């Protein structure tokens, strides 16, 4: 979508919002799939209420992009604009055992920054790519750690009230790859409380997690991590593997040979290829195990 409403175009510079015309989502997502649209880069959080009011007033649909590591996006010209937060300086501020982190900060860099200041707990999250905002939305987790466990407070833009609010931990629930945030809430910053731990000990934990990832995941291929959520007490990857579906492909969309719950773009996969692969694998699992796998990857395909 190309923004053409003069009132919006005129307001963007005053709001500190940069418009990037024809931004390719294939270049901005880890799967490398997706069409193009205008992207609005937001430099000041305080601009959000006015920006959203303007977009809504003009009937312009929008979606919010973090690091693009958990997304499957449709091809062709996209029917919505993309909003994204620009990184802010400083991204992380420490105060005792609390870390105040901007939502646009890289999750991995946040884990290592805190580690260098003897704040641990998040070692398991080290290889989860993407932003802190995306991790909050997804309640990202790995190796027994989930970000929600450390959240004390979240500052967010609530689209319902068109205003910025702060929620405390007791007002938010974090479950397995699910949170109680409204679908159109935009996370702006978080206060994490982390246990004190010597850097050397944290580093040891980080090394172990990195090694586990390297040995089990196709890290040099384009993917969005796990496609499906694990069923309670089970493993989606194990079920797919047991069905002999590693390597199964539709066009260039392929079930990884390394990890059966990672679907990779092995060349020029289209969104339709990936959707067809997801549907076929889900059907095969359902036919054999009677379980309907739920997507972990977020679809921007409508
Ligand atoms: C190689 C690889 C390994 C992975 N391993 C793991 C893993 O171990 N555990 C795990 O949980 N995930 C894993 N993932 C998936 C992904 O990295 C996480 O879900 C990550 O937290 C997504 O963050 P993002 O910034 O990239 O979000 P995006 O992909 O950009 O967005 C995902 C969703 O979050 C929303 N969102 C993003 N930022 C915000 C914000 N500030 N406010 C509101 N909504 C927002 C988007 O609108 C979208 O709905 C992996 C992915 C890859 C490619």
- Clarify whether residues 168 and 279 are in a common domain: no
Rounded to 5°, the CA angle 152-63-270 comes to: 120
Both 197 and 126 in one domain: the answer is yes
Is the pTM higher than 0.75? yes
Q: Name residues whose C-beta falls within 8 Å of residue 260's C-beta, 6 or more positions apart in sequence.
A: 236, 237, 238, 240, 241, 245, 246
49 with 112, same domain: the answer is no
Residue 218 CA to residue 77 CA, distance in Å, equals 30
For the chain, the residue count is: 302
Looking at 50, 85, 120, which one is the last position of a domain? Answer: 85
Q: Which residues pair with residue 193 across a beta bridge?
A: 98
**SS3 label, residue 235:** coil
For ligand 1, atom 6, the nearest C-alpha belongs to 128
Domain-embedded: residue 65: yes
Residue 167 and residue 97 share a domain: yes
DSSP 260: T
247: left (phi over 0), alpha (psi -120 to 50) or beta: left
| End-of-domain residue from the set 85, 119, 143 | 85
Domain at 57, CATH number: 3.30.43.10
Same domain? 210 vs 227: no
Domain residues for 273? 218-300
* Same domain assignment for residues 66 and 106: no
What is the whole-number distance in angstroms between the Cα of residue 148 and the centre of ligand 1?
Answer: 14
Q: What is the pLDDT of residues 286-296, one digit of tens each?
A: 999 999 999 99
Q: What is the pLDDT of residues 247-299, one digit of tens each?
A: 999 999 999 999 999 999 999 999 999 999 999 999 999 999 999 999 999 99
Together in a domain, 101 and 179: yes
Domain assignment of residue 143, yes or no:
yes
- What is the domain-level CATH number for residue 160? 3.30.465.10
Residues 13 and 81 in one domain: yes
- Our answer on whether the CB atom of 28 is closer than 6 Å to any ligand 1 atom is no
Question: Do both 99 and 207 map to the same domain?
Answer: yes
Any atom of ligand 1 within 6 Å of the Cβ of 146: no
The answer to whether residue 1 is domain-embedded is no
**Rounded to an integer, what distance in angstroms lies between the CA atom of residue 157 and that of residue 83?**
13
For residue 131 and ligand 1, the question of a CB distance below 6 A is answered with: yes
The finding on whether 264 has its CB within 6 A of some atom of ligand 1 is: no
Provide CB contacts within 8 A for 162, sequence distance 6+: 49, 52, 53
Please state, for a pLDDT cut of 70, what percent of the chain lies above it: 100
Domain boundary among 53, 85, 117: 85
Report which of 221, 216, 209 is spatially closest to residue 30, judged by C-alpha positions: 221
C-alpha angle 239/32/105, rounded to 5°?
95
How many A from CA of 134 to the centre of ligand 1?
A: 4
């Amino acid at each position: 979508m190309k923004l053409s409403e003069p009132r919006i175009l005129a307001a963007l510079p005053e709001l500190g919002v940069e418009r990037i015309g024809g931004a390719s989502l294939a270049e901005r997502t880890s799967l490398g799939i997706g069409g193009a649209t205008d992207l609005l880069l937001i430099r000041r959080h305080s601009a959000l209420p006015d920006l959203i009011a303007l977009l809504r007033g003009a009937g312009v649909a929008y979606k919010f992009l973090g690091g693009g590591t958990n997304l499957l996006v449709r091809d062709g010209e996209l029917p919505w604009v993309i909003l994204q937060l620009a990184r802010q300086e400083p991204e992380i501020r420490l105060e005792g055992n609390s870390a105040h982190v901007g939502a646009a900060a890289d999750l991995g860099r946040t884990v290592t920054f805190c580690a260098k200041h003897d704040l641990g707990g998040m070692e398991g999250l080290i290889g989860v790519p993407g932003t802190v905002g995306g991790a909050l939305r997804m309640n990202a987790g790995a190796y027994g750690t989930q970000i929600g466990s450390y959240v004390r407070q979240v500052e967010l833009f609530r689209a319902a009230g068109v205003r910025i609010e702060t929620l405390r931990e007791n007002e938010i629930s974090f479950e397995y790859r699910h949170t109680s945030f409204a679908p159109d809430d935009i996370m702006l910053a978080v206060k994490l409380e982390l246990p004190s731990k010597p850097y050397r000990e944290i580093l040891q934990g980080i090394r172990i997690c990195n090694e586990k990832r390297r040995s089990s995941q196709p890290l040099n291929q384009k993917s969005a991590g796990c496609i499906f959520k694990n069923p309670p007490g089970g493993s989606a990857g194990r079920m797919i593997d047991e069905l002999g579906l590693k390597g199964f492909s539709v066009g260039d969309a392929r079930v990884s040979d390394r990890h059966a719950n990672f679907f990779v773009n092995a060349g020029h996969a289209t969104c339709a290829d990936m959707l067809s692969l997801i549907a076929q694998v889900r059907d095969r699992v359902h036919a054999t195990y009677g379980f309907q796998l739920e997507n972990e990857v977020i679809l921007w395909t409508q």
